[in-house]
Copies of this chain bind each other. A is one copy, B any other.
Amino acid sequence: MLYLFPTPLSDNPWQESIPLEAVEVVKACNLFVVENLKTSRRFLRSMISDFDIDGSTFIELNEHTPDEEYIEIVQTIKDRNTVMLSEAGLPGIADPGGELVALCHDWDIPVKPITGPSSIVMALISSGLNGQQFTFHGYLPVDKRERQVFIKQMVRNIRETGYTQIFIETPYRNTVLFEDILHHAPVELRLCVAIDITGKNECIKTRSIGSWKSTSKPSMHKIPAVFCLGA
């Protein structure tokens, strides 16, 4: 069994983000597939004060993992209960864990998700925009021209289908992206900016593009944020 285990989105206590019973899953496992060794061990120790690091096996899986190692990892976890951890939030959304999960299905290794914080969904439900139908685009193009084309395509999607458009940016470029949207999206559409979800500086606001243009902008430079654009 491969457990997909969440980690907190911000540096708040795990008790605010992870169900108490989920800790029992970790206690029953001694094999861990992690994106980063150091932060994962720190997280496990914060959750279980007497966590047995020396008696546990850690496998690092991240963007540096060569393709051929995936099969080795699958063979290792095949008959053992394994916990997969990502750096923030749920594993498998925006990290290389997804490929391992796909292999687990090929090998008939059961996969079990554990409840945890998803910044995408938490932004969406807090936005008040259409939550019945939506598209998540991940990172928008960095190139200014390509990004402009992309924003205009999202606006067309909203007008034709009503689907909420969700996207993210590398935190230090958040402010530039925000200005780009205000520039290229029509004034009547609504934009939600969900900043530092679950964190100390959490700020989630939905305004029309027109209204954003004439009010003060929330501080989002170098802070993780999720953007939702909708009708």
Give A residues with C-beta under 8 Å from B: 4, 13, 15-22, 90-94, 97-105, 110-113, 115-118, 120-138, 163, 192, 197-198, 202, 204-207
A163 contacts which chain B residues (CB < 8 A)? 135
- Distance in Å: Cβ of A226 to nearest Cβ of chain B: 11
Contact A18 B15 (CB under 8 A): no
Q: How far does the alpha carbon of A21 sit from the alpha carbon of B117 in the complex, in Å?
A: 13
Main secondary structure on A side of the interface with B: mixed
Contact B120 A121 (CB under 8 A): yes
Contact A126 B4 (CB under 8 A): yes
A135 contacts which chain B residues (CB < 8 A)? 133-136, 163
- Distance in Å: Cβ of A109 to nearest Cβ of chain B: 11
Copies of this chain, tallied across the complex: 2
Q: How far does the alpha carbon of A127 sit from the alpha carbon of B100 in the complex, in Å?
A: 10
Q: How far does the alpha carbon of A128 sit from the alpha carbon of B138 in the complex, in Å?
A: 16
Contact A130 B98 (CB under 8 A): yes
Neighbour of A129 across the interface among B15, B102, B110, B123, CB < 8 A: B102
Among A15, A19, A131, A133, the most chain B Cβ lie within 10 Å of the Cβ of A19
- Distance in Å: Cβ of A56 to nearest Cβ of chain B: 23
